[in-house]
Amino acid sequence: MKMALRFHPQKACRKLLLWLALIALVTGTFPSACPADGDGWTVMVYLYGSTMEANKGLARKDLDEMLSSVRDDTTLLVLTGGAESSTNGFMPGTHGIYRVTRKEMRLLEANEQDMLGGEPLERLLQLGMAKARGKTALILWDHGFGALEGFGFNTADPSRHLTLSSLRTALERGLAGKTLTLIGFDACFMADLETALAVRPYAEYLLSSQETEPEDGWDYSFLASLSADVSGEQAGKQIIDNYAAWYESAYRLAPYLYQPTTLSLVRLAGTDALADALDRVFFDLDERVAGGGFSPVSRARSSAHAFGRGTTPSEYDLIDLGTLMETFAEKGYPVSDAISALKGCVVYRGGDVEEAKGLSLYFPLLSSRQNRAAWRQEWSTLPIGEAWKAFLNRFEAGLDEKRGRRELLPAREGFSALLDDDLLNDYDHARYYILEENPDGDMRLLYAGNDCTLKGSTVTANYRGQCLMLHTDGGDALIPAFLRQDHGKKADYQAVMLLPDSMTGIPKVIWLRIQHDQDTQTWQVLSAIENDDLSDGLVTGRQQLDLTKVNEVMAGSFLYTPVLSASGQPVSYNYWKAVGWPDLFPVTFTGDFSLAEEPIPRRDGYRYWLQLEVVDTYRQEHTAPLFPL
C-alpha cells in the first residue's frame, strides 16, 4: 500500500511498458492497464487536501480507509491534490485522478490545473460517468464554508473557494445531462437549503453536515457495504449511521476532543416545494419589516439555533431552518407549509445536536458588514425565490441603518439600568463585563457574563462576584469566556489562548470550547480549535487540538484604555483600545485540567468595575455608567 501511495507516474509508466511487453511475448495479448469497471456503484471523490492534509495527514487517513473498504464491484475514482505539502506521496502541485482498489491506487490522469477552478472536477465527472454501470456518487472532501463562501480552502489565496455557482457549472458540464444518485460533502456547513437548490438538477440526494465536522470527517468503511442493490437512500443512511457511531465511540474514549456532529440526507426533489413555501414566508416577513416590524423578526432570528457558533470563532449566520420556522410558528406567523415541506425532503438525520433539523439557511444578523456585502453578490446568483431575495435585502438594510448609541440611566438598586420605550421595543439581550483597573487607569477583562434579567423597563446584571478559573497541574489561569450559543440547560462559550510555536516564534491562536451545565453549575473544557491564520478571518472546524498532547499554552490578557463618548461615559468594552502587548504566562496541560467559577482575586491598589450593556435588535450596543464593585 505504501508503494502505491508513493506512486511516481514516469517510473511506473516505464515499468508498466516493460511488463506489458513481457506478457505479450508469453501470451500474445496485452492485459488491461486498469481493473475492469464494476457493475456496482461508481464513487467519485474530489479530495482537495489543503491544510488538513498538509498539517495533519487527514487525506491520507481517509485514503487508507478507502483502500481497505472498497468493494470489488465498486468503481472508486479519487481526484486528489491541493496541499502545499503532503504525507501521502502525491506531488502537491499536481493533481491526479486515481482508480482505487483494495490492492492499489493507479494513476489514470495527472495535470497541473487549479483544482478550485472547476475543470478538474468536470474531468472527474466525465471519466466517472463514462465508467458507471450502476448508481453514482460524488463526494467533495475539504473545508466547507456554507453556501455563501462555498467549498475548498486555497492555502495560497484564502479568499478563493469553489463557489456554488462554479460548482453548478462543473456539474452541468461534467454530467452532460446525466444525474448522480448522491452528492455528498465531507466538509463543514454544506447542509443548507441554498446548496441543496444549487445541486438540485444534478443529483437525487444530498448528504452533508449543518455543523462543522470534526477533523476526522466521514468514516469511509461504509464503502464495504455499498453493494449494487443498495439504493441512494440506503447508502446515505449507512454513511450517517457509520459517522454517528464512530464519533459516539471516539468521544467515549476521548471526551476532551468532543465536537458536535450533524449529518443529514435530503431528497432533492422535495426542495422545490420547500423553496416555494419559504418564498411565501419571506414575502410575509418582508411586508412585516416594511411595516415597522423589524424587531420581532430580528428577535425570532436571534433565538434560532445557529451553526459554527461554538466550534469556530467566525460568524457565518447559518441557522437551522426547522428551529427558525418553529419560532415563527410560536409567534403566529404562517409557516405551516414550510414546516411540512422541510419534513418531506429531509429523509434521515444523525448526530448529537437536537436542534439540527437537517437543513440550514443563511439569515444575516451577526456577521460583519464586509462579509455580508461579499456574500450578497453570491446569493444574488442562487436559484432562490424573488421574495426571499427581497426580504434579505430589506433586512440587511435594517441592520446597516445608522442608529445612535444611547447611554443608559442606572436604576436605584443593584447593577441595573433603565430602558426608554424605544429601546424596550428593540431590546434583544443584555450582557456585562467585569473589569480590573490598574493604577495607570488601564483596564483588563476578568469575566464576561450573560445572566441578565429584564423586568418591566429595568435590566439587571445578576453578578455574584465570580470569575472563571482554569486549573491544571502546571498552574491556574483566569479565563474570560464569551457566550456563543445557548442550548437551554447547556451553553457553549469560547476563550482565547496562545500556543507557542518554536519554529516561527509567533504564537498560534487557539480557541477553547467551553460548556456550562446550568443544572449542575459546572464548566468543562470540551475541545480546542486551532486558528490556521486564515487571512480572511474565516475559520471552520476540522482543525482540533488535543490538549493532552500539548505541554504548554499561554494564557494572556490585553490592557485596554476605555473609549469615551461625547459625554465622557465609556462606550462598550468591545470598542476600547488595546495598550501594548498582552501579558502572557504559561499553563501546562500535561495532566488533568478543570474549570470552576471562583471569587475574583483582588489586588491592592486596583479598582474593579462592572459594565452593563444592552444589545438591541439592530445589533447596536448601549451602555450604562460603570458600576464600582
Same-domain status, 479 and 622? yes
**Does residue 409 lie within any of the structural domains?**
no
Domain span including residue 137: 2-24+39-269
Highest mean pLDDT, choosing among 159-168, 228-237, 251-260, 444-453: 228-237
**Does residue 525 lie within any of the structural domains?**
yes
Q: What is the mean pLDDT of residues 308-331?
A: 92
pLDDT of residue 549: 77
pLDDT of residue 23: 24
Which three cell numbers mark 472? 491544571
- The CA distances from residue 214 to 87, 254, 293, in Å, are 20, 13, 39
Classify 615 in phi/psi space as left (phi over 0), alpha (psi -120 to 50) or beta.
beta
pLDDT tens per residue, range 262-282: 999 999 999 999 999 999 999
Which of 223, 249, 269 terminates a domain? The answer is 269
Domain count, the chain: 3
Same-domain status, 90 and 121? yes
409 vs 402: CA distance, rounded Å: 22
pLDDT of residue 535: 40
**Does residue 217 lie within any of the structural domains?**
yes
Which of 234, 269, 304 terminates a domain? The answer is 269
Same-domain status, 492 and 602? yes
**Does residue 609 lie within any of the structural domains?**
yes
Which of 229, 254, 269 terminates a domain? The answer is 269
pLDDT tens per residue, range 118-148: 899 999 999 999 999 999 999 999 999 998 8
| CATH code of residue 262 | 3.40.50
Same-domain status, 389 and 421? no
| Between 245 and 498, the higher pLDDT residue | 245
Lowest mean pLDDT among 194-208, 209-223, 510-524: 510-524
pLDDT of residue 34: 54
**Does residue 67 lie within any of the structural domains?**
yes
pLDDT tens per residue, range 52-82: 777 778 888 999 999 999 999 999 999 988 7
Same-domain status, 596 and 491? yes
pLDDT tens per residue, range 485-500: 887 788 889 988 888 7
**Does residue 355 lie within any of the structural domains?**
yes
Same-domain status, 47 and 109? yes
Same-domain status, 309 and 256? no
542 vs 574: CA distance, rounded Å: 28
pTM for the model stands at: 0.89
Same-domain status, 229 and 357? no
pLDDT, averaged across the chain: 86
**Does residue 206 lie within any of the structural domains?**
yes
Same-domain status, 276 and 150? no
9 vs 14: CA distance, rounded Å: 9
197 vs 89: CA distance, rounded Å: 37
| Between 216 and 31, the higher pLDDT residue | 216
pLDDT of residue 94: 65
pLDDT of residue 302: 94
Same-domain status, 454 and 555? yes
**Does residue 552 lie within any of the structural domains?**
yes
Residue 13: pLDDT band with limits 50, 70, 90: very low
Residue 536: pLDDT band with limits 50, 70, 90: very low
| Between 112 and 355, the higher pLDDT residue | 355
Closest CA to 105 of 183, 184, 45, 21: 45
Same-domain status, 179 and 249? yes
pLDDT of residue 10: 33
Residue 344: pLDDT band with limits 50, 70, 90: very high
Same-domain status, 551 and 595? yes
pLDDT of residue 8: 31
